[in-house]
């Protein structure tokens, strides 16, 4: 048994050594040489990445991965990851890039690099089509639902004028139930939640009124890969001008890109 294990270990070491790229070769070069890009995507976070009815991964992030593969002219290998292991996968080079509704923060900046934003993820005020609320001040005298303790609820409490009625529910599901049942016509929530409501209950699809806080998604890649970073940013910029990203937003988030994205 031990002999078999050590043989296995030796085999892996050899395989790893064979794949080892020379020092300082940028990941972009090795991707182009191998003609495959390994992309880590979420498997449990609709609409960014989840299993479809045929159990194949589908979502905004998967479409983005395919877009990048096409722009580079390489095959895309989709690797399903979770929120916990997506960055370790990147660091151990099991994946070349991570497209997994990744938000940027200081802790992550220390270990990986981020591309330009490719997906809008924001918390905002959503409501039925007929209500006109363009800013926090226009919430005067209106009733809005929010989930107690969530970021958007805390921001809303700071921004909303004093005579706004904020109905705070204990969890996301109650807030959604309140909006869907018509108890409130405005809610403060994340854009993915709004998309989920729009999909399940098209009659009460929430329309964005204004954004409370931006927390867009970025592609994660290892540090010290300037060529890969530049190429990714180029592809993203190109996709923005050509309208491909807007199409993704409509398809998966059921909403146009927020202004200024």
Partner 1 sequence: MNYKLQFSELLPHWDVLLWGLLFTVVLTVVSTVAGIAVGTAGASARTFGPKWLGNLVAAYVEVIRNTPFIVQLFFIFFGLPAAGLKLDESTAAFLAMTINLGAYSTEIIRAGIEAVPKGHIEAGISLAMTKWEVLRHIVLKQAFEKIYPALSSQIIIVMLGSAVVSQISAQDLTYAANLIASRNFRNFEVYLLVALAYLLLAMLTRSLLRGLGRILFKAK
- To partner 1, the closest distance from the beta carbon of 190 in angstroms equals 17
| N residues, the chain | 261
Q: Out of 126, 169, 218, 252, which residue is the one contacting partner 1 (CB under 8 A)? A: 169
Residue placing its CB nearer to partner 1 in the complex, 14 or 177: 177
- Strands 49-51, 57-58: parallel, antiparallel or unpaired by DSSP? antiparallel
Residue 151's CB is within 10 A of a number of other CB atoms, namely 14
- For 77, counting Cβ atoms within 10 Å of its Cβ (0-12 exposed, 13-18 middle, 19+ buried), the class is middle
- To partner 1, the closest distance from the beta carbon of 154 in angstroms equals 8
Which residues have C-beta within 8 Å of that of residue 26, sequence separation ≥ 6?
225, 226, 227, 228
- To partner 1, the closest distance from the beta carbon of 149 in angstroms equals 4
Residue placing its CB nearer to partner 1 in the complex, 103 or 149: 149
Residue placing its CB nearer to partner 1 in the complex, 54 or 163: 163
Q: Is the dihedral of CA 143, 148, 152, 153 positive or negative?
A: positive
Quote the tokens at residue 90.
């990147």
Contact set for partner 1, span 181-240 (CB under 8 A): 181-183
Contact set for partner 1, span 141-160 (CB under 8 A): 145, 148-149
Q: Which residues bind partner 1 (CB under 8 A)?
A: 145, 148-149, 167-170, 174, 177-178, 181-183
């Amino acid at each position: 048994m031990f002999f078999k294990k050590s043989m296995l270990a030796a085999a892996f070491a050899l395989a790893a050594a064979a794949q080892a790229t020379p020092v300082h070769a940028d990941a972009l070069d090795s991707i182009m040489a191998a003609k495959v890009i390994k992309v880590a995507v979420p498997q449990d976070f609709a609409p960014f990445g989840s299993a479809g009815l045929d159990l194949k991964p589908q979502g905004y992030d998967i479409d983005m991965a395919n877009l990048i593969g096409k722009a580079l002219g390489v095959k895309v290998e989709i690797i399903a990851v979770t929120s916990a292991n997506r960055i370790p996968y990147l660091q151990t080079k099991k994946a070349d890039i991570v497209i997994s509704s990744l938000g940027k923060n200081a802790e992550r900046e220390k270990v990986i690099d981020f591309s330009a934003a490719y997906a809008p993820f924001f918390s905002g005020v959503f409501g039925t089509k007929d209500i006109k609320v363009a800013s926090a001040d226009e919430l005067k005298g209106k009733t809005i639902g929010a989930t107690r303790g969530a970021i958007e609820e805390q921001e809303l409490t700071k921004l909303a004028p004093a005579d706004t009625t904020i109905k705070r529910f204990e969890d996301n599901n109650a807030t959604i139930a309140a909006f869907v049942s018509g108890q409130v016509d405005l809610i403060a929530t994340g854009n993915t939640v709004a998309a989920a409501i729009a999909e399940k209950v098209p009659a009460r699809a929430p329309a964005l009124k204004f954004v409370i806080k931006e927390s867009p998604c970025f592609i994660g890649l290892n540090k010290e890969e300037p060529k890969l970073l530049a190429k990714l940013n180029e592809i993203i910029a190109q996709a923005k001008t050509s309208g491909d990203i807007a199409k993704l937003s409509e398809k998966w988030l059921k909403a146009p890109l927020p202004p200024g994205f």
